[in-house]
Structure 1
Amino acid sequence: MKEKGFTLIEMLIVMAVISVLLLIAIPNMTKHNSMIQSKGCEAFLNTVQAQVKAYEMEYHRVPTVQELVAARYIKSDRCPNGHAVQISADGAVSESGS
């Protein structure tokens, strides 16, 4: 009775091909991760800017980041890349970089 299946050599070739594909794919994914986080932070800053305007219309003054979080206008005071968000006295939103 002859059983059909993969030989050891065939399995090793498949493993080698998968390894090469992983070695190519992983560095590309990590390289683009910082770009993705940067774009996510830009989008988050735009959202916070809109919420600052909404808060201003309701309370007639520029809020702090902590006031926006406490009033549930935003959920977090940090961008996806971990940097804190700050609001200037004139209501401009920016990333603090720390």
Structure 2
Amino acid sequence: MFKNEKAFTLVEMLIVLMIISVLLILIVPNLINKGKDVYEQGCDALVAVVQAQADAYTIEKGSPPTSIGDLVPEYIREDQKTCPQGDVITIDQKGNVGRVPEGS
């Protein structure tokens, strides 16, 4: 009656599900850990952009900015004063840009 029907057996389906499960177990934790690296690199890039704008301010005004507020709104936007994960971008008296971790 069912001699010519082709289908997967229960064992074949279980093997496929096991392989998919193992791949998910290996891949998902690695993806979760990459999020922190992306935010760190994004914050480093934002610090570099703000440093470039501080240098432009120094060239145009003849003296370095004394605070991050000196750059807003002409050189940077208000939202560029902090990194996405919350680190605060600061400028020292010499015009060097850095960041302070959130909560410090």
TM-score, normalization by structure 1: 0.76
Q: Confirm or deny that 1:8 pairs with 2:16.
A: no
Q: Confirm or deny that 1:89 pairs with 2:93.
A: yes
Equivalent residue of 1:70, what SS?
coil
Task: List runs of 5+ in structure 2 lacking aligned partners.
Answer: none
Give the RMSD, CA atoms, in angstroms: 2.3
Out of 27, 30, 34, the position equivalent to 1:28 is: 30
Task: List runs of 5+ in structure 1 lacking aligned partners.
Answer: none
Mapped to 1, the partners of 2:51 and 2:98 lie a distance apart of 9
CA distance 1:72–1:49, change in 2 (3 Å): closer
- Report how many residues are paired: 98
Mapped to 1, the partners of 2:52 and 2:82 lie a distance apart of 16
Instruction: Give how far 1:16 is off.
Output: 1.4
Counterpart of 1:65?
68
Mapped to 2, the partners of 1:82 and 1:5 lie a distance apart of 54
TM-score, normalization by structure 2: 0.73
Mapped to 1, the partners of 2:87 and 2:69 lie a distance apart of 15
Indicate conservation of the 8 Å contact 2:47/2:99, yes or no: yes
Mapped to 2, the partners of 1:23 and 1:50 lie a distance apart of 43
Instruction: Give how far 1:51 is off.
Output: 0.8
Residues 8-41 of structure 1, C-alpha deviation per residue, up to 9 Å, x if partnerless? 3322221211111111112222233323322222
